[in-house]
Structure 1
Amino acid sequence: MCELGYVTTPTVVVNAKDEPAVIDYARKSANPTVGINFQQTLRKTKPAPAVALYTSTGPSKSYPGLLKSDIMAPGSLVLAAWSPKVASVQIGLIVNLRSDYNLISGTSMACPHASGVAKLLKGAHPGWSANAIRSALMDTANPLDTTRNPILDDGDSFNSASPLAMGTGHVDPNRALEPGLIYDATSQEYVNLLCSTNFTRKQSYPSLDHAPMIVPNHLPI
Structure 2
Amino acid sequence: MPEGDKTTGCEGAPRHVAIIMDGNGRWAQSRGRPRLFGHHAGAKRVREIVETCPDLGVKYLTVFAFSTENWKRTQTEVAGLMSLFRRYITKEARALRDEGVRVRFIGDRVRLDAKLIALMDELELLTQENTRVHLTIALNYGSRDEVARAIKRMAQDVARGDLSAEDVDESTLTRYLDTRVLPDPDLVVRTSGEARISNFLLWQSAYAEYEFIDTLWPDFTADIFEGLVRDYARRDRRFGAVKA
Calculate the TM-score normalised by the size of structure 2.
Answer: 0.19
* Greater percentage in strand: 2
- Name whichever structure is richer in helix by fraction: 2
Higher relative contact order (CA 8 A, sep 6+): 2
Flag the structure with larger Rg: 1
